[in-house]
Chains A and B, each alone.
Chain A
Amino acid sequence: MHAPGQKLNGSEIFFECLRRENVEYIFGYPGGALLKVYETLYDVRDIRHILVRHEQGATHMAEGYARATGKPGVVLVTSGPGATNTVTGITNAYMDSSPLVVFTGQVPSSLIGNDAFQEADIVGITRPITKHNFLVKDVRELASTIRKAFYLATNGRPGPVLVDMPKDVLNAECAFEWPESVDIRGFKPTLKCHQNQVEKAAHRIAKAKKPLFYIGGGVISSEATEELRRLATEQNIPVTMTLQGLGAFPGDHPLSMGMLGMHGTYWANQAVNNCDVLIAVGARFDDRVTGKTDTFATQAYIIHNDIDPTNVDKNIKVDLPVVGDAKHFLASLFKEMPKQVEDRSAWLSEIRKWQEECPLTYTVENDSLKTEFVIDEVSKQTNGNAVVTTDVGQHQMWTTQYYRFRKPRSIITSGGLGTMGYGLPAAIGAAFGVTDRPVVLFCGDGGFMMNVQELVTAVHYKVPVKIFLINNSFLGMVRQWQELFHQEKYSFTDLGDSNPDFVKVAEAFGCRAMRAENPEEARRAITDALAWNEGPVLVDFRVIKKDMVFPMVPAGGSISDMLLTRLNPKTMV
């Protein structure tokens, strides 16, 4: 570390700031505007730079790292194309509220606006997809800007922040000063909930006959899962979770209802429909959760706690808004609740009845393979203890149904944006952050090809990710909608003739690979892959083509429109 007041150049200041922010990893890719930074990096030993193979990969990797650890993910890319390649990853982090700090090189200040070589107005481009962004115009502002960027990314509702650094700023020198505190007058998130509102909430919940928790990713990012467990179990309140909320409450607990929404469980959706008090915490009433909003939870008094006031009354008008941090909300609520708990056995047995009416089940045949079996088997063999990343599609939804998440920070998946290509880099990033639990990826054959280049990164750094390729030879989720809603016109979703041999592809990258075509082979391949930790390993699971994810609430529909099985069983192959 350099002493404060010492004269340093912009690049040295950059690393000095990262040290003070306790950054362990940078996911990056060099280029012209960053030559000075990479010159300095050559001698940096205490921060590890991970060389990705595409800047999109860097952003998803950083996000995977951030979601697995709770620490901000750091990205470093060059100007122009390097910067524009981060746009999808930044948007993804914005939609899913993940803390990222993205550093972009920029052409020299004197050339900005001149259409210079590799110039892109990345601050303008990313304004609507970042929590905030900065162009550093003077080296004397570099340290304070970086300090602010980390502060903004991690405080309040987390999100991505971008810092654009022109080449001349990185070369210029000034005395290094690290601001000990941050004060941004326009950014004062409300952390403590209004006591009055908490008391009102406690009063309503105490009287409720059929209360239900609807838990989102905010409970995980605010580290409030213990507070949730204590409150829900003491008060005997069932818990349903969103895609990002899975793991906030143990999936194997009798009060866990699994996921709600479009591909949620039948009983979770019925519980939403019939509850008398719905307690939403760190969730945002996304359309994939609510379906048609005017038929959502119509019987319920809705309490909504969120750290971001804009989430309140945005999609659904709630009865009791409580702005503040989820941890503070759940802890204060626990204090306010009477210890004499209402008898809720009737409500719980009503839910159990729905569960028996329409459980999650699948059949196993000896000579063919189903995704549900693969995921269920991985869940069993890892005892629900893995960090599970997914790509986007059918395999993602089956993961929510058949993997029993027992801990927070266990599912890392693209929810808000639904970004195919997210899974592989996110898994690699997660594996850099978490080394005491297996990191597993469920990925479609379509999405795998969207960031397949990052297999090099995994091989090069010997990252022990288990890549479970769910190969149905189809853009399965699109195929499902085509079958259900578009006259079975399988327009451009059959990948059967064009997919490569994934085992050979993996091997060409230097990655261990195997294939499994039936349950027996699958079971063995999973055991083998989980036991092998010398680098990445890929299993090509050749699953049946025409399986579909049920239950399903059609887009914009109500719970009562829920499809429980396929309409025409003959189309099943």
Chain B
Amino acid sequence: MKHIISVLVENKFGTLSRVAAMFSARGFNLESISIGETEDTEISRMTIVTRGDDQIISQVLKQLNRLVDTIKVTDLTKQPHVERELLLMTLKLSRATQHEIFGLTNVFKGKVVDIKQKSITIEVIGSPDKINTTIDIFRPYGIRELARSGAVAIHRGES
């Protein structure tokens, strides 16, 4: 099963490499990893997407906790959370497809961020599932280049 894990880490050089190396050394699956500073500049938040059965996920969480540079490890999967990913995608553009592409971009609540005579770059934000669907739908128009940020996620606030 897919799990999304949020990890607060020391904002130091080498932290990302420690986490990534632990995943490869122990043979854990690492679907995506993203990292950025938090409101406290000494602390970064990592969002990790991984897959495994309960036994493996429990090991993943414990091994993450064991690293000295990790401060807090939370498995968000079974808790209320918001998960988002950013997609940037450049498509082939022609007179014939232009309207459809604009239309679909609207459907996905995306934005056009760049447009040239023969290409168009759009940005879409959403859950990784929505991003997958977006890519599938746009594929027939011809994808030139594509970049995904990997998921970032956070707890839903208290009411």
Contact = CB atoms under 8 A, between A and B. Distances in A.
Question: Are these two chains actual partners, yes or no?
Answer: yes
Interface string B1-44: 00000000110001001100110010000000000000000000
Contact of B21 (A128, A186, A308): A128
B58 A186 contact: no
Contact of A187 (B22, B59, B68): B68
Contact of A186 (B14, B22, B62, B67): B67
Interface in A139-168: 152
B68 A186 contact: yes
B121 interface: no
A309 interface: yes
B17 A131 contact: no
Interface string A122-140: 0110011001100100000
Contact of B68 (A124, A184, A308, A313): A184
Interface residues of A, number: 19
Contacts of A128: 21-22, 25
A274 B63 CA distance: 32
Contacts of B14: 123-124, 127, 135
Contacts of B68: 131-132, 152, 184, 186-187
B17 A127 contact: yes
B69 A127 contact: no
Interface string B45-75: 0000000000100110011011111110000
Interface in B61-111: 62-63, 65-71
A314 interface: yes
B148 to A, nearest CB: 27
A308 B66 contact: yes
A473 B68 CA distance: 46
Contacts of A127: 14, 17-18, 21
B49 to A, nearest CB: 21
Contacts of A317: 55
A185 interface: yes
Given A127-B14, A127-B17, A186-B71, A313 B55 contact: yes
B69 A310 contact: no
Contacts of B69: 132, 186
Contacts of A312: 62
Interface string A170-200: 0000000000000011110000000000000
Contacts of A308: 66
A322 to B, nearest CB: 15
Given A123-B14, A185-B71, A186-B71, A310 B21 contact: no
Contact of A124 (B10, B17, B22, B62): B17
B62 A309 contact: yes
Contacts of B70: 186
A81 to B, nearest CB: 23
A135 B12 CA distance: 11
A314 B25 contact: no
A429 B18 CA distance: 31
B103 to A, nearest CB: 49
Nearest to A323: B62
A124 B21 CA distance: 10
A356 B18 CA distance: 52
Nearest to B69: A186
A121 to B, nearest CB: 10
A186 B66 CA distance: 8
A328 B67 CA distance: 24
Contacts of B10: 186
Nearest to B24: A128
Contacts of A131: 68
Interface in A176-235: 184-187
Interface of B: 9-10, 14, 17-18, 21-22, 25, 55, 58-59, 62-63, 65-71
The 10 A-B pairs of least Cβ separation, nearest first, read: A132-B68, A310-B62, A309-B62, A186-B71, A187-B68, A128-B25, A186-B68, A186-B70, A185-B71, A310-B66
28 contacts: A123-B14, A124-B14, A124-B17, A127-B14, A127-B17, A127-B18, A127-B21, A128-B21, A128-B22, A131-B68, A132-B68, A132-B69, A135-B14, A186-B9, A186-B67, A186-B68, A186-B69, A186-B70, A186-B71, A187-B68, A309-B62, A309-B65, A309-B66, A310-B62, A310-B63, A313-B55, A313-B59, A317-B55
